[in-house]
Amino acid sequence: MDIVYLHKWGYPPEKMLDVYDTINLAQVYAALSYYYEHPEEIETQMKEDEKWGARYEREKAKYLKKGVSSSTSR
């Protein structure tokens, strides 16, 4: 999914290697090939990850707000 995100952001495969220096160009192309063969699967997983991230940020904001409220009421 990380490779797909870079692809969507306009990174050419060669530049993706600058971001992920532990993989090679063949692996980048394999990831993109898998994405093009299974776009629904990857898009679904990406949406789930985005939902999780949004939920995490909401919970973090609530927690921090509660912490600030507790410390200001002392």
Query: Each residue of 45-69: pLDDT tens digit?
Result: 988 888 887 788 888 888 888 876 6
Query: Each residue of 21-37: pLDDT tens digit?
Result: 999 999 999 999 999 99
pLDDT value, residue 33: 98
Cα separation, 2 vs 9, whole angstroms: 11
DSSP assignment of 46-66, as one string? Answer: HHHHHHHHHHHHHHHHHHHHH
pLDDT value, residue 59: 87
Cα separation, 72 vs 70, whole angstroms: 6
Contacts of 23 (CB under 8 A, 6+ apart): 17
pLDDT value, residue 55: 85
